Structures are given as structure tokens and as C-alpha cells.
């Protein structure tokens, strides 16, 4: 009886993790990225979602886990955390999600 129970439990598949399915908008805006340590660089947005964006930049100081401010204009900046950085690109997650309308506006600039 114990062997039968083992076979039944082995046949049960673990639940499939759902991936976050959100709209990403292509972008080409130029932004200023600043670290909490005072480093800054210019970057180009490649895509934007309500949760974050992809930056293209040659800043070698960007590191995973670093907090940055993304300045979109003189009066609009978004706080984010660098989730990955490699080969001239970095993926950042906004500390607070933005609206889809804001994501579209950023992408259009």
C-alpha cells in the first residue's frame, strides 16, 4: 500500500508558475540616471512597462541591487532598483509601479 501512495504522489506535477504578463511599450527616450552614491549617466530607454524599463547605457558603475533615480524631465523622476546590468544594458524595476498611461507617455517622449 505504501508503494502505491508513493507512485501516486510522484505522478502529481508541481503547480506551474505563472509569468507576469504585462504590456511593454517600445521607447527611445533619452534619460538621466543617477545613483544614490552621486554617479550619473545618460541612457536611452528601450522599453517601458508599469513595473520597470530597459536602459541602454555604457555606465560601468551600474550594479544589480543599486538604487537609482531615472530623470525623464526636469520635473519628473522615477525611483528604481537595478535588477540586472550587462553588455551596455540594464533592467530596472520601479519602486512604485506607474500607470499604463504614464508608461505610454514615457515611451512616446
Mean pLDDT within 7-21: 52
| Contact (Cβ atoms closer than 8 angstroms) between residue 48 and residue 27 | yes
Q: What is the mean pLDDT of the chain?
A: 86
| 87-103 mean pLDDT | 96
What CA–CA distance (Å, rounded) separates 50 from 101? 9
Whether residue 2 has pLDDT greater than 60: no
pLDDT digits (tens, 9 = 90+) for 42-89: 999 999 999 999 999 999 999 999 999 999 988 999 999 999 999 999
Q: pLDDT confidence of 9, banded at 50, 70, 90?
A: very low
User: Would 51 be classed as within a structural domain?
Assistant: yes
User: Which range marks the domain in which residue 90 is found?
Assistant: 25-108
Number of structural domains (the chain) is 1
Domain membership flag for residue 90: yes
- Residue range 93-102: mean pLDDT, rounded: 95
**Residue 5 is assigned to a structural domain of this protein:** no
Q: Which of 100, 68, 98 is nearest to 84 (CA)?
A: 68
Q: Give the CATH number, domain containing residue 88.
A: 2.40.10.220
| Predicted TM-score (pTM) of this structure | 0.78
Residue 7 placed within a domain: no
Q: Cell 504585462 appears where? A: 22
pLDDT score, position 108:
86
Q: Which residue has the higher pLDDT, 82 or 2?
A: 82
**Confidence (pLDDT) at 19:** 55
Amino acid at each position: 500500500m505504501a508503494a502505491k501512495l508513493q507512485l501516486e504522489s510522484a505522478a502529481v506535477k508541481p503547480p506551474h508558475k505563472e509569468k507576469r504578463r504585462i504590456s511593454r511599450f517600445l521607447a527611445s527616450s533619452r534619460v538621466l540616471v543617477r545613483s544614490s552614491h552621486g554617479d550619473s549617466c545618460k541612457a536611452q530607454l528601450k522599453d517601458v512597462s508599469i513595473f520597470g524599463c530597459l536602459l541602454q547605457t555604457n555606465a560601468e558603475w551600474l550594479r544589480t541591487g543599486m538604487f537609482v533615480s531615472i530623470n525623464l524631465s526636469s520635473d519628473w523622476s522615477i525611483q528604481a532598483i537595478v535588477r540586472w546590468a550587462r553588455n551596455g544594458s540594464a533592467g530596472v524595476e520601479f519602486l512604485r509601479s506607474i500607470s499604463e498611461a504614464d508608461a505610454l507617455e514615457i515611451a512616446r517622449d
